[in-house]
Structure 1
């Protein structure tokens, strides 16, 4: 594999140049803004409740959200194999870390039970991703990006997991249920715009991938708000 091979899978890109995707690149600021929003609320709420020190787990999740924007920016400017990894790795790292925090902190289970549920959840998500990938390849032998969904089927397990989590929160009447449901709806809409990007090229040369970035930034922001507001230790979780 040539790590410096060019990658051209988005409507906006017309050549291998650094600024061939200016809108796709700059809209990654949405992830940085999501992280800033989360940190500002985190700092305000801790000051209001006179909490000392910092919640390291929440801060790590916030920083990871910002890194998603940096990685995606690198991909939409350099557009090479190595930068595609810089794009994908932070995203899935955040998902894996947030999933654990959602179980441990937002739901409020014990640490041992959180790890058990987390392990089962990861296995189920990985299995669904593998199933979707196999079905896609079996259907037309296409690689991601030429499967009729522009590679977006890989996110289907995430959508199912999010709506499942939102349902559990609603049944429990958990204070974070509104944030999680809003995040699930936003993520679904963002995947729609990611999927149709190449399909609209002829009529809309800019494409719609930038809307995936903007909505995903909002999606990450909503998840972080649920974590910051309801993911602190149970005795200090703040109702909204």
Structure 2
């Protein structure tokens, strides 16, 4: 089976494997963030929180690999290898904060996540691609992180709130970089998508650290 070749980013100039070297290699930061989470979670006592942190860490590592494959092979198959892991990471990480920091019960938590995923996928549709270079699909994540930060601040979870507010700033910068990739391509042939990867690596590190600090303080 042959998959359709894709050319979606400024750095790519042809369909060859190594046409996006910077976009591809910056995924190492996402992978390393997952490695950090996995290593740090081993020092936690066995509990549901620690298990979820490990799942988030594995998903971060898979996200790094999937995105690397997408920016090297760049076809319709590897596109989903890029999208699915990061979507699952968002679901698992948001679920962690909702369940263990906010204390939302299973049913309302599940309903929220269903709405979250549905809205994110809807904003990925062709109708919204022209807006912010297709980055609108990440708006629900940004709003959710801000909401979680506010709630954790109100509940006096200082470590968690600081990290969540920091993640909002980092993610805003990351989305901005992703949005301007093609817009500045004529003047900056490398584009800015590499900054999206780099900042996401920092973002994932911050979120995993927030989870770990919450569990450490709780115990």
Give the TM-score normalised by the residue count of structure 2. 0.90
Q: Which residue of 2 aligns with 1:218?
A: 202
Name stretches of at least 5 consecutive residues in structure 2 with no aligned partner: none
Residue 95 in structure 1 maps to residue 78 in structure 2: no
Shift, 1:94, TM fit: 0.9
Q: Which has the higher helix share?
A: 2
Structure 2 matches for 1:33-182, cutoff 5 A?
33-43=32-42, 45-46=43-44, 51=45, 55-107=50-102, 109=103, 113-126=104-117, 128-129=119-120, 132=123, 137=127, 144=129, 147-174=130-157, 175-182=159-166
CA distance in 2, matches of 1:125, 1:196: 25
Range with greater deviation from structure 2 (185-194 or 173-182): 173-182
Looking at structure 1, the residues matched to 40 and 121 of structure 2 have their Cα atoms a distance apart, in angstroms, of 37
Question: Residue 70 of structure 1: CA displacement?
Answer: 0.4
CA contact (8 A) 2:11 2:190 kept: yes
Instruction: Find the residue that maps to 1:185 and give its secondary structure.
Output: helix
Map residues 13-52 of structure 1 onto 2, 5 A cutoff.
13-43=12-42, 45-46=43-44, 51=45
Aligned to 2:214: 230
Describe the shift of the 1:149–1:168 C-alpha distance in structure 2 as closer, same or farther (beyond 3 A): same
- Output the CA distance in 1 between the equivalents of 2:122 and 2:190: 32
Give 5+ residue unaligned stretches, structure 1.
138-142
Structure 2 match to 1:197 = 181
* 1:127 shift after superposition: 5.3
Q: Classify 1:3/1:223 alpha carbon distance in 2 versus 1 (closer, same or farther; 3 Å).
A: farther
Pair 1:151–1:35, CA change in 2 (3 A): same
Q: Distance in 1 between matches of 2:77 and 2:121?
A: 23
RMSD value, Cα: 2.3
Report how far residue 41 of structure 1 moved: 3.1
Give the CA deviation at 1:123: 3.7
Cα distance, 1:53 vs. partner? 8.8
| Bigger radius of gyration among the two | 1
Provide the secondary structure at the position in 2 that maps to 1:181: helix
Task: Say whether the 8 Å CA contact 2:122–2:137 is kept in structure 1.
Answer: no
Deviation at 1:200, TM superposition (A): 0.7
Deviation string, structure 1 residues 143-185 (Cα, Å, up to 9, x no partner):
62xx141100111111111111111111111131111111111
How many pairs does the alignment contain? 217
